[in-house]
Amino acid sequence: MTETTDADVPVVLDCAPAFALRARYTFCMLGLIAGFRPRFYAGAPGGPHVLYSASASPTDAAGDIAVHVPASRSAQSFLLEKNAYAPADARLLPAAGRSILSLFPVDPALPRSPGLPSTDCIADAFYFLSLHGEWSGGPRDQFDRTRADGTLLGALGFLDSPVVADIAACLGDALRLAGFRLRDAGRFAGASSAVCITHDIDHLTYMRPAFLYREMVRLLLLNQARMPLGRRVRRFFGYLRAVCSKQGPPKASIEKLLAAEREFGVRATWFFKSGGRDKRDAGYAVDSAYLRGVYESLRADGHEIGLHPSFQSYLDPAMIARERAALSRATGIVPSAVRQHFLRFRAPDTWNAQIDAGFRVDASLAFAEREGFRNGSCHPFLAFDHDGSRVLPIWEVPLLVMDGTLQHYRGCSVDAARERILELERIVTERNGVFTALIHNIVSDRLDYPGWDALFDELCSFAGSDDHFSGTISDTVFEWVTSLGYDSPEAVQKTIAT
Q: From first to last of the 498 residues of the chain, give the pLDDT tens digit.
A: 333 447 899 999 999 999 999 999 999 999 999 999 999 998 888 889 999 999 877 665 556 899 999 999 999 999 999 999 999 999 999 887 889 999 999 998 889 999 899 999 999 999 999 999 999 999 999 999 999 999 999 999 999 999 999 999 999 999 999 999 999 889 999 999 999 999 999 999 876 777 776 767 777 778 888 888 887 777 777 777 777 776 789 999 999 999 999 999 999 999 999 999 898 997 799 999 999 999 999 999 999 999 999 999 999 999 999 999 999 999 999 999 999 999 999 999 999 999 999 999 999 999 999 999 999 999 999 999 999 999 999 999 999 999 999 999 999 999 999 999 999 999 999 999 999 999 999 999 988 899 999 999 999 999 999 999 999 999 999 999 999 999 999 999 999 998
On whether the CB atoms of residues 403 and 440 are closer than 8 A, the answer is: yes
Cis preceding-peptide flag for 348 (omega within 30 of 0): yes
Find out whether 319 and 313 touch, Cβ atoms under 8 Å: yes
461 vs 244: CA distance, rounded Å: 33
Residue 385 CA to residue 393 CA, distance in Å, equals 10
3-state DSSP assignment of residue 456: helix
On the question of a cis peptide bond just before residue 105, with omega within 30 degrees of 0, the verdict is: no
Please name the helix (run of DSSP H) or strand (run of DSSP E) that holds residue 255, with its range, or none: helix 248-264
- How far, in whole angstroms, is CA 319 from its chain's centroid? 23
Distance CA 229, CA 177 (A): 67
| Nearest to 404, CA basis, from 378, 374, 435, 369 | 369
* DSSP reduced 3-state for 225: coil
Number of H helices, E strands in the chain: 17, 16
What is the pLDDT at residue 250?
Answer: 93
Q: Cα 97 to chain center, whole Å?
A: 26
CA distance 437 to 167: 24
Query: Tell me, what's the pLDDT at 1?
Result: 33
Q: What is the pLDDT of residue 59?
A: 64
The pLDDT of residue 213: 66
Give yes or no for a contact between 412 and 199, defined as CB atoms under 8 angstroms apart.
Answer: no
Helix or strand holding residue 390 (H, E): strand 390-396
Q: Residues 21, 117: contact at Cβ < 8 Å?
A: no
